[in-house]
Structure 1
Amino acid sequence: MRKPQIDYAAVFRALPGMVALLTPELVYADANDDFLRLARRTREQLLGRYIFDVFPENPNDPAAAGMQETQASMLRVVETGERDTMALIRYDIEDPARPGYWREHYWSPVNAPVLGPDGKVALVVHRVEEVTELIRARGGPVGDEDRARVLEAELYTRARELQDINDRLRQAHAREREVALALQAAMLPAPGPIGPHEAAVRYRPAVGALNVCGDWYDLVDLPGDNLAVAVGDVVGHGLGAACTMGQLRSALSAACRVADGPARALEALGLYARFVEGAEATTVVTTFIDWDSHTVTYSCAGHPPPALVDPEGNVTFLDEATDPPLAARPEHLPRPQARASFTEGSTLVLYTDGLVERRDEDIDTGLARLADSLSRHRHADVEPLSDALLTDLLPAGGSADDTALIVIRL
């Protein structure tokens, strides 16, 4: 079989979501089609120009800090050579067709380095999720039915846009290892700081897979310094499953920011999944952590239950709010939600089925193995604890299924 010829420029232009490349001096080197479309700029208006000459701060908003925060994040990437995930920011953009008129925008940016042969940062990847419409929905109708209609309309529109991008990505046949790894890194960024709390993530593809799969994890900042943590699993492997995963992860991240609980976030995601090819039977669990009340509110869509281990080694599986996977029912129904209390120093673990399921044994055996490992290693920091869980639970030769794992010290 002939080795496929990959047009990397075409792959970059077709990437879902807003992605731009900047020099260490923060000058635009390139931008994909979604960035140009959503930022309302042409390629000629960007390339070779300093980012904040193109997108200055809104002079009519004395409290605006989007430019300062974005600049600080990018310079950290240049200085440290490490990825930097920013909190949700407001950054208004001047309408190029109407000078002096500024459009309100809300962004969720991630900045990542591209190293040159000398090991220094050669480019900064600036990836942005546009969540303006969903943030505005907070100030709209507050009734349950009205809120559902607002979310459904927004997610339906986004589904159509992302489906078109997904089709173009599938046609690219970009199955080389470096492309797969780049996509996976962009879709599953390392967790950013969550205050005094520690978090660790792990991702292991199935044996023989292309180092990319449909498993995902996500951490989303919520009002009051609280946190939403989610893990999901799309059926299948390879770039097709990864593209579907990227759409669902982005949609759930946006829904968590405006929903009043994990069940409502999953209801919105379920409506969205009906219009995404390959999303049927996706499983996902979403948890909202409230540090002040020491509670975890959760909802599961056909997914293995999160595990909560206290400092004494007692393990509780959060399995009181479980429902079928996404798009598995012909009609839309409310999803269940439950709440569990935790003591300081406890640990919350979310994972995909590759960690606990084996074809030749009952799922309860795998859950018991997870509980035993958590109890024995509960005092370890989250990074060594994550490694210990993979060592204890995954076969020595690798698993036949993909595995995503996230560990949060509460």
Structure 2
Amino acid sequence: MSRSLDAQDRLQQLETIIGDPTGHLGLAELLTETLRRLREVMEVDTATVLRYQTSARQLVAFAAAGIEEEVHQGVQVPVGSGFAGRVALERAPVVLDHVDETTVVNSLLWERGLRSMLGVPMIAGGELVGVLHVGSVESRQFGESEVGTMQLLADRLAMAIQMEALEENRTATMALQRSLLPSRLPDVPGLAFGARYVPGAETGLGGDWYDLFTLPGDRLGVVMGDVSGHGLEAAVIMGRLRSALRAYALDCESPAEVLGKLDRKANHFEHGAMATVAYGIIGPSREALTLSLAGHLPPVLARPGGPGRLVDVPADPPIGLTIGQPERRTTVIDLPPGAVLALYTDGLVERRDRPVDTGMRMLAESLRAGEPERVCARVMATMIGNRPAQDDVALLAIHRWAVPAES
């Protein structure tokens, strides 16, 4: 078979390698089948796809044909090291005519007896997705046409991997988010609750959350938080902060102290993460909420018969933003009988065409005391309406009964 191909031949060769659509196959199986065809068409002995792990800056064997041990043994190659690491670092094709420990990090390759290799970067949307390489036990020259075919294939596979990764990220984020939000709001004598969570239409799922939990002494913990960023990473950080806050809440009487411990934890273990959090405690009398804000927007309180108003609560530094232990303060907010208190994230009040201050005023004007589910429905209709939210929206309405609960 001639190894000198023009552009048209290269496209035909690519179609032969990709073959008929195989929608019933998962990504790993699809890649393995494609690599098997690649071996046949290019007359090589091995073909491998390594996926790039951004956080670790390394390549991990994901699919292989002819040298399946790479996948089975979880081969890892740091970016910049050896053959595949060089392809990833330079983001350019590399041809290797000498395979041993001086040129290749993965010992399986020279133990397999490979003498010549060709590797190309897998890039989609300007981002490194991985490396595709082939190897031959016979010495051979890989020509420009073969490099071109490999690069075309790598581009196709990179897009498929990236799309699969985005879908996996969204699915995992959604599952994690649903598992961490309260499945049902608690039954608390003297109080009723309503809540909404809507993922952003543009940003997707992220790190917004709300939480309600009982505490010793017939008290209730109330949380509204927003981790910066979106996707699985933000949701994972949110989950860790949520669990840590609950643990600190059991040991600390003051919301300010709880947020101080959470800030210390985030600065030590969650480098680069930032979150705004509102945490408060409602006592057994249900007459007041003791609240501390870590960079979060103030709640809105609506008394019976009147519009809501923004509560004057000082906002201390966000979680994870400052080094050291800034002073954190608490504010006691009275909850008159029949009143509703609303906590929310910035996605509810901020849009590109509406500054956050304007949105906060709109929220206050729209809030009226009443049954909390109806309160949430009215607020969402006013603030979101028929336009999808650009960012995540979390809303929690707390209604103190006008008549004390019967025992």
Q: TM-score range by the shorter chain?
A: 0.5 to 0.7
Q: Shift of the alpha carbon at 1:371?
A: 0.9
Q: Quick check: 2:293–2:315 contact (8 Å CA) kept in 1? A: yes
CA distance in 1, matches of 2:249, 2:305: 32
Please give the per-residue CA displacement for 1:306-355, whole angstroms capped at 9, x wherever unaligned. 11111122423233231111122222122011112121111111110001
Give the equivalent residue in structure 2 for 1:389: 379
Change (3 A) 1:384 1:398: same
Give the equivalent residue in structure 1 for 2:186: 192
Q: Is 1:322 aligned to residue 315 of structure 2? A: yes
Give the equivalent residue in structure 2 for 1:307: 300
Give the equivalent residue in structure 1 for 2:394: 404
Change (3 A) 1:233 1:5: farther
Equivalent residues in 2 for 1:260-339, closer than 5 Å: 260-277=253-270, 280-292=273-285, 294-339=287-332
Q: Is 1:221 aligned to residue 214 of structure 2? A: yes
Residue among 195, 201, 218 paired with 1:207 = 201
Change (3 A) 1:173 1:371: closer
CA distance in 2, matches of 1:236, 1:5: 29
Q: Shift of the alpha carbon at 1:290?
A: 1.9
Q: Is 1:340 aligned to residue 333 of structure 2? A: yes
Q: 313-322 vs 222-231, which deviates more?
A: 313-322
CA distance in 2, matches of 1:231, 1:176: 24
SS class of match (2:304): coil
SS class of match (1:224): coil
Q: Shift of the alpha carbon at 1:248?
A: 0.5
Q: Shift of the alpha carbon at 1:279?
A: 5.9
Change (3 A) 1:278 1:198: farther
Q: Shift of the alpha carbon at 1:249?
A: 0.8
Q: Quick check: 1:354–1:403 contact (8 Å CA) kept in 2? A: yes
Q: Shift of the alpha carbon at 1:221?
A: 0.9
C-alpha root-mean-square deviation of aligned residues, in Å? Answer: 2.5
Q: Quick check: 1:241–1:278 contact (8 Å CA) kept in 2? A: no
Give the equivalent residue in structure 2 for 1:240: 233
Q: Quick check: 1:201–1:406 contact (8 Å CA) kept in 2? A: yes
Change (3 A) 1:265 1:4: farther
Q: TM-score, normalised by structure 1?
A: 0.55
Q: Shift of the alpha carbon at 1:395?
A: 5.1
Give the equivalent residue in structure 2 for 1:13: none
Q: Shift of the alpha carbon at 1:220?
A: 1.9
SS class of match (2:367): helix
Q: Which amino acid aligns with 1:219?
A: L
Q: Which amino acid aligns with 2:379?
A: L
Q: Shift of the alpha carbon at 1:359?
A: 2.8
SS class of match (2:213): strand
Q: Quick check: 1:218–1:253 contact (8 Å CA) kept in 2? A: no
Residue among 345, 364, 374 paired with 1:352 = 345
Larger gyration radius, structure 1 or structure 2? 2
Instruction: Mark the runs of 5 or more structure 2 residues left unpaired by the alignment.
Output: 1-17, 30-164, 401-407
Q: Is 1:175 aligned to residue 168 of structure 2? A: yes
SS class of match (2:217): helix
Q: TM-score, normalised by structure 2?
A: 0.55
Instruction: Mark the runs of 5 or more structure 1 residues left unpaired by the alignment.
Output: 7-171
Please give the per-residue CA displacement for 1:250-283, whole angstroms capped at 9, x wherever unaligned. 1111112211111111101101111343663310
Q: Quick check: 1:370–1:393 contact (8 Å CA) kept in 2? A: yes
Q: Which amino acid aligns with 1:408?
A: I
Q: Shift of the alpha carbon at 1:223?
A: 2.5
SS class of match (1:298): strand
CA distance in 2, matches of 1:195, 1:293: 9
SS class of match (2:391): coil
Please give the per-residue CA displacement for 1:18-71, whole angstroms capped at 9, x wherever unaligned. xxxxxxxxxxxxxxxxxxxxxxxxxxxxxxxxxxxxxxxxxxxxxxxxxxxxxx
Equivalent residues in 2 for 1:18-29, closer than 5 Å: none
Number of matched pairs: 241
